[in-house]
Every structure is written in C-alpha cells, then in structure tokens.
Structure 1
Amino acid sequence: MDEFDRIRDDWEILEPDDRYRLLIDLGRDLEDMPAALKTDATRVRGCSANVWVYPADATAERLHFLADSDAAITKGIVALILTRVQDRPAADIRGLDIAVELEPFDLSKHLSSNRTQGIPNMIALIKETAARLAEGAEDPAATDGAGGPDAA
C-alpha cells in the first residue's frame, strides 16, 4: 500500500474535524519551497489562497514538485495531490486521472468551494508538465532539438 492509499484509508474512517487535521498535517509535512520560487510564474491560478507549484526535478524518469500555500487546508490539499504523483515517471503521471483518484475524498462535500476551486488548475499544471516531459522522452528532438530535423 502506498502513501496515497494509506491516506485514503485513514480519511474514510475519520470524522470531519479529524479530516481537516489530516489535511493540515499533510501540508505541514510538505518539503519547504524556497521563497525565491514563489513567483507569479509558479502560482496556480484560480485558487482563493496563494498556491505555488514548481517542478524542481523534472525529467521523464522522475517528476518532483515543490509546492506551498499560505492557507493550511489548501496546503494540505496540495500535499494530498502531490502524494499521488511525487517522484513518479512523467508517463505514469500523464496516464493518471488525478481527479478520479481524489473522488474518494469527496473534497467538495467537506470543504468550501473557495478551497476546492483551484484543484483542477493544479492538476492541469502537473499533468501538462508530465505530458511535456513524457512526450520529450518519446521524441528527444521535441525538447532540445538535438538530432532533430534541423540539427547540423
């Protein structure tokens, strides 16, 4: 059982207040994101709180994200999503339906729409990064031009 599955199993038996605490604890456990990376370019649009996601180690073989939020529960949601994708190959992440993976948590039932409205944008950012890297691994000329049709 991986970390995401363990969290899902815990979630199912917890009372609503304990679910909030679980999210807050997940957020506290996130790897620190340097302030220099918290820029407009790394900010996730559509979130009521400030959320930043940055692919710190982005290769086709392994995607590792740094993330942060200025709201504790939102940061926990970010951590929950990252638990599902962190340090996995880009092709695996590209193939995941993260929204479906989150359905057992029924976040919209337990949290206000303000807290959940940015989730699709966060998922899209992660999936776009994974797709770009996975496609680059399949076609190296697509990412760096080396060996591509215009290579000298």
Structure 2
Amino acid sequence: MRLLPLRRTGIGCVHAIDRGMTQPQPFQEIAENLSFLDDWEDRYRYIIELGQGLPKLEDSERNDANKVNGCVSQVWLVSEPRGGDTAPALRIRGESDAMIVQGLVAILLALYSDRPAAEIAETDAIAIFDELGLREHLTAQRSNGLVAMVNRIRGEAKALAA
C-alpha cells in the first residue's frame, strides 16, 4: 500500500491510498478539494454539491435489481460492462433519494467508474474514505450503507474480471 500525500490541512495530512490502481483524475480532484476544507460542515456541503451534479437515472433503472440492500436511503447502482475480454471495464451510474448519500455515490463513481474490473475489485474504497476522514462523521447506518455500496460494486467487478 502506498500513501500519496495530497495537501496538508488544519486537521492533518490527507492522503489517497493507492491499492494497486492509479487514482482517477476526478477522484484526485475531489480528494484535493476535500483536503482544503477543515470544517466538517464545509465538507458535508461539498459532498452534497457533488451529488447534485450527478445525472439522474431513468425511471426504469430505479428497480429492485439495481437497488442496493443495506442502505437506509434508497440507492440504485447501474453497472455496465465495457471493453474487451482481455481487460473489461465497468461503467457505473447511481442515484440516491438522500442528498448526502447522493454525494457519497458521486465520490464512489469518481473512484470506480470506467476503470478495469480487476482494479475495481482490488480497490478498497472504505479504507480510502477512512483515510480522507469521510466516514468519521457519518451515522452508523450511513456508514453501513456505504459499505453495502462498495461491496456491491466490487462484487460486480470481481464477477466481470473472473
């Protein structure tokens, strides 16, 4: 595991964790922006803004097959395989009915979407969220929902990479 320092803030040094995959540029930008925000309320607002920028799913995509179990809020994730047989990738789209969760979905999509399935399967987003200090202010239920979203994405990536 390699720690990549991004910026020093008033609360310490924020890192992105490299677990075998180069962090995608959109995620690096999010991590850097978060590192500038010392106050949790500012971080909370920023996460909500990220979620507001996500495109909505089609009504037909908000179904039981795409719904993530284990979330207090309603969350839907749509995974679409891309690429060839040698290095298939996974495009992920998502939506939630809760603003903060929608923002967490946006961060996960920035980290995982359009990446090779094998890299997604190996990337521990929970450890990355912990390193960025994003889970410490979530309720236990929201944190459990985040774990459910990550497990769903990584499970689909593992199946595609197999």
TM bin, normalised by shorter chain, reads 0.7 to 0.9
Contact 1:49 1:69 in 2 (8 A): yes
Q: Which amino acid aligns with 1:36?
A: S
Partner of 2:68: 44
RMSD between aligned residues: 1.5
Q: Which residue of 2 aligns with 1:31?
A: 55
Shift, 1:11, TM fit: 1.1
Letter in 1 for 2:126: A
Structure with the bigger percentage of strand: 2
Residue 95 of structure 2 aligns to a residue in which SS? strand
Counterpart amino acid of residue 126 in structure 1: I
Deviation at 1:115, TM superposition (A): 2.1
Letter in 2 for 1:67: G
Q: Is the 8 A contact 1:8 1:104 kept in 2?
A: no
Q: Which among 142, 148, 155 is matched to residue 121 of structure 1? A: 148
Structure 2 length as normaliser, TM-score? 0.76
Matches for 1:69-84 after TM superposition, within 5 Å: 69-84=96-111
Equivalent residue of 2:135, what SS?
A: helix
Per the alignment, residue 96 of structure 1 pairs with 123
Q: Secondary structure at the match of 2:69?
A: coil
- The unaligned stretches of length 5 or more in structure 2 are 1-23
Which amino acid is 1:118 matched to? G
Q: Which residue of 2 aligns with 1:7?
A: 30
Contact conserved, 1:43 with 1:51, CA < 8 A, in 2?
Answer: yes
Partner of 2:132: 105
Runs of 4+ displaced beyond 3 Å:
none
Q: Identity of paired residues, percent?
A: 34
Rg comparison, structure with higher value: 1
What residue identity is the alignment partner of 1:2? Q
Q: Secondary structure of 2:78's partner?
A: strand
Q: Structure 2: which amino acid aligns with 1:22?
A: Y
What CA distance in whole angstroms lies between the structure 2 residues aligned with 1:95 and 1:117? 20
TM-score of the two chains, using structure 1 as the length reference: 0.81
Could you tell me how far 1:32 is from its partner in structure 2?
A: 2.1
